[in-house]
Structure 1
């Protein structure tokens, strides 16, 4: 079971590291997305920093169970907020799909990490 947890954690970490780094560094594509979602650039960059910190928590959480659960739960809540931002921007379901998939992956990590603690 721990191997499955580690694989899900690795997938979650890679996805959020890629997304969070773009936001945190203020790359043009990320800032265009922030504008589309009507989110201030500073808040969007903060979201990116929080995503990267969530990655750190998920990875360390492989050894410190409570941290892994907390980090994955935080990433889940962030993706719920992301879906809400897409709904507010009246985006089609296709645009929300990445946030939904990442939310489900984060929920899976919460469940797996809690079960293997």
Structure 2
């Protein structure tokens, strides 16, 4: 059971994450020099950078709808969670562990609205 204060907290987390993913998605999809440098350093293809950025830019507006259409916010949060799984793997494998742990924290935060506003939740015990 989600108490009203928990729902409010999940909505705030979702909103802050959406703003974060607008910025990071724009940087990736828009070809910011830092993102190009990072993907080059990790020897990752640039189509993957663009795809990750576009997925983040699709998910962010869905997550901003948390105040009106929470189910769509859940879908957006699931979408960026998938992106963050790849980011966590890359950061653990190709960087010092502290970067991997940071992406896991963001992944965990993404799962809060994904679970809180999951349309299947009422079907689960």
Query: TM class by shorter-chain length?
Result: 0.7 to 0.9
- Shift in Å at residue 114 of structure 1? 3.0
The C-alpha deviation readout for 1:80-106, integer Å capped at 9, x for no partner, is 1111122332x1112223321210110
Matched, 1:32 2:37: yes
How far apart in 1 are the matches of 2:101 and 2:60? 20
How far apart in 2 are the matches of 1:6 and 1:66? 12
How far apart in 2 are the matches of 1:29 and 1:70? 29
Give the number of the structure whose alpha-carbon radius of gyration is greater.
2
Asked whether the 8 Å contact 2:92–2:99 carries over to 1, the reply is no
Asked whether the 8 Å contact 2:11–2:66 carries over to 1, the reply is no
Pick aligned residue for 1:70 from 70, 75, 79: 75
In structure 1, stretches of 5+ residues that fail to align are none
Matched, 1:58 2:58: no
TM value normalised by structure 2? 0.81
Larger RCO (CA within 8 A; separation ≥ 6): 1
Aligned ranges 1:1-117 → 2 under 5 Å: 1=4, 2-89=7-94, 91-114=95-118
How many residues were matched structurally?
Answer: 116
How far apart in 2 are the matches of 1:37 and 1:52? 22
TM value normalised by structure 1? 0.86
In structure 2, stretches of 5+ residues that fail to align are none
Asked whether the 8 Å contact 1:37–1:86 carries over to 2, the reply is no
